[in-house]
Structure 1
Amino acid sequence: MTRPKKATVALIYDFDGTLSPGNMQEYGFIQATGLDANTFWEKNTKMKEAQDASEILCYMKLMISEASHKGLLLTKNSLKDYGKNVELFKGVKEWFALINKYGSDNGIVIEHYINSSGLKEIIEGTPIAKEFKHIYACSFFYSPEGKAEWPAVAVDFTAKTQFLFMINKGIRYVKDNKKVNEFKPDIERPIPFRHMIYFGDGETDVPCMKLIKQQGGRSIAVYNPSKRAKKAAAEKLIAENRVNFVCPADYSEGKEIYKVVTTIIDKIKSDYEFKKLLLAHEKKGEKL
């Protein structure tokens, strides 16, 4: 397999707290059940502790239970409708075109991915869903009538690392998870880890951040600038050497995230071109 003429860079995002200031269930679904956000998440915590269960599986069960109790339709379409109301951080809507152009202008292919413990169906309803090559997130099984019945995919912090390997190896679907552990030479992997940039804000992102950093990629801890506790949590990650950068969640042109990401892209391009140059000269030596 020959090396591609252009480097591909994968920008991989958590969603809640990274692209959006809140949990996606808080933008319509929880209100529709008649609960407030604090009550919903308190119920989730109590269920998790009482059953010694996964927090992710608990929130998915709680969504089904509360919807059933209130007579709400919980379908792909209803969840996508909730996604229309999800709030995004400043500059997020414009971010993708901005970075895609920067990549194109510099001979770099940019791909965007979601790696989230939130719900795929809600994310698919947001105005930025079309920007992602693939969305790796939780999802439900649906009845023939389209009603959510059971968790199909539950994404906790360990599952998130699996999706990084799927991106690395060019595996798109969760059903192909056996391929994750199959051997594939590095040169045949479409996106090396060193060409990945990971954006996250919380504990579920720590294994991904650390893995990407250890493998030569870059991790960015993002925080809500209006919340002091979020900033402190992000700064703790860099103090513990788990991330490369810490940035406020403003994705506008010229802001800190933009400067960090464009500089990383410049570095990836430079390293890629240098490696191509070395390989070309190695081939000259092989001819002697």
Structure 2
Amino acid sequence: MKQAPFEQNIIAMVWDCDKTLISSYMQDPLFRHYGVDGKKFWAEVNALKARYAEQGISVNSDTSYLNHILTYVKSGLFKGLNNRLLREFGKELVFYPGLPDFFGEIKKLIAEDPKYKAFDIRLEHYVVSTGFAETIRGSSIAPYVDGIFGCEFIEDVLQPGFLDGDAAGLKSSAAAAELGLDAGSEISQVACALDNTSKTRYLFEINKGSNKYPDTIDVNSSIARESRRVPFQNMVYVADGPSDVPAFSILNYNGGSTFAVYPKGDVKAFKQVDALRRDNRVQMFGEADYRKGEQSWLWLTEKARAIADQIVERKKAAIRNNVSAPPSHLT
């Protein structure tokens, strides 16, 4: 008999970052470090699509900011910007009330409940962001997270001939030092770019388990739903706005859970998430306050318990279906 590869005992909470976990944008520490006007930078980014369209070039408005950052590096405005610095900027991120403690609390709530412990039910956190993966890795939330998916840069670019070991192809820091070359140690290429639609790819990676077993499972592999590591109904997606509608849609369509947050007292943001709820884009929303007893804490913890209870019931039903009735005395 074919054995199922996964127990399907994992609950996954998948988080957007900017305006969901933090109140601002994670690029702000970068602008402060270099004394760059962030409003001017974003105004330039917003104008890129129209300006390049005049040249007959179509650009992705969600990821064009990455190339504009590289333009700032080349122009000297972000001189010396590298992945180490991007990670250092993570220390400056200020999270909403209750974070990062909430991440650990809800994991503990599931892992230590005897009812769930009997079936080894656990909760994992993932961050999927169009921002910098390195900055999230350097933040206070990183130790509580089981996976981070975001935009990434390459510093030392492999040159033509690198497979042959030629000097022309050895532009890593160590090899360049041996050859007396200057490797630069600045970001120079985009390694990975996430936009609001491609975020859904990582939902499928978590769902199928390719994030945990990349050498065995490809995100495009065909896997029966009952054989996937984290069924969509075991997932909760938390984000702040319309840009996350593609991810919300995947979860809603496949039986998952969706939750939107807004900053306390922000009427415009409140109306935005309320519109998402009325349009059935999200199932519920609350203030971006994750302290114990607050609405978001209550909804998310109760949702995690409800999913865990469903897993318990499925496991018990499977046991009952595979166990015959015990023999009894004849009367």
The residue aligned with 2:14 is 12
Residues 36 and 176 of structure 1, relative CA distance in 2, 3 Å threshold: farther
Q: Which residue of 2 aligns with 1:112?
A: 125
Cα distance between partner residues in 2 of 1:231 and 1:223: 6
The secondary structure found in structure 1 opposite 2:62 is helix
Report the Cα distance in structure 1 between the residues aligned to 2:5 and 2:84, rounded to whole angstroms: 42
Name 2:26's counterpart in structure 1.
Answer: 24
Aligned-residue offset at 1:32: 3.2
The question of 1:40 aligning with 2:46 is answered no
C-alpha distance in 1, partners of 2:35/2:214?
A: 36
Contact 2:11-2:124 within 8 A present in 1 as well: yes
Q: What is the CA distance between 1:80 and its match in structure 2?
A: 0.9
- Counterparts of 1:84 and 1:67 in 2: how far apart (Å)? 22
1:101 to 98, 102, 108: 108
Further displaced range: 60-69 or 260-269: 60-69
One-letter amino acid of the counterpart of residue 108, structure 2: K
Do the aligned partners of 1:33 and 1:66 also contact (CA within 8 Å) in 2?
A: no
Structure 2 counterpart of 1:130: 143
In 1, Cα distance between the equivalents of 2:262 and 2:216? 32
Match of 2:164 in 1: none
Question: The residue matched to 1:257 in structure 2 has which SS?
Answer: helix
Give the corresponding residue for 1:265: 304
> Partners in 2 of 1:48 and 1:33 — Cα distance?
25
- Amino acid in the other structure paired with 1:53: V
Identify the residue that residue 87 of structure 1 maps to in structure 2.
94
* 8 A Cα contact 2:260 2:286, kept in partner: yes
Larger Rg: 2
2:291 is paired with a residue of what secondary structure? coil
Partner of residue 292, structure 2: 253
Task: Say if 1:79 and 1:121, in contact at 8 Å, map to a contact too.
Answer: yes
Identity of aligned residues (%): 27
Deviation, structure 1 residue 192: 0.5
The answer to which structure has the higher helix fraction is 1
Could you tell me whether the CA contact under 8 Å between 2:10 and 2:234 is conserved in 1? yes
In structure 2, do the counterparts of structure 1 residues 198 and 74 end up closer, same or farther at CA, with 3 Å as the change threshold?
same
- Distance in 1, matches of 2:269 and 2:85, equals 31
Structure 1 residues 181 and 273, CA gap change in structure 2 (3 angstroms): same
**1:174 CA displacement:** 12
For residues 1-288 of structure 1, the aligned pairs below 5 Å read: 1-2=3-4, 7-26=9-28, 28-51=29-52, 52-68=58-74, 69-70=76-77, 72-106=79-113, 107=116, 108-143=121-156, 144=172, 145=183, 146-172=185-211, 179-284=218-323
Residue segments in structure 1 that go unaligned for 5+ positions in a row: none
Q: CA deviation at 1:260?
A: 0.6
Number of positions where the alignment pairs a residue of Structure 1 with one of Structure 2: 286
Shift of 1:283: 2.7
1:152-189 CA-to-partner distances (Å, cap 9, x unmatched) read: 11101121001000000111289879811211122321
Quote the Cα distance in structure 2 between the aligned partners of 1:74 and 1:57.
Answer: 18
Deviation at 1:112, TM superposition (A): 0.5
User: What amino acid does structure 2 have at the position aligned with 1:217?
Assistant: G
User: Shift in Å at residue 278 of structure 1?
Assistant: 2.5
SS in 2 for 1:115: strand
Give the TM-score normalised by the residue count of structure 2: 0.80
Shift of 1:191: 0.6
- CA offset at residue 3 of structure 1? 8.2
Amino acid at match of 1:60: L
Distance in 2, matches of 1:39 and 1:29, equals: 14
How far off is 1:134 after superposition? 1.0
Tell me which moved more, 63-72 or 251-260.
Answer: 63-72
SS, match of residue 88 in structure 1: coil
- TM-score normalised over the length of structure 1: 0.91
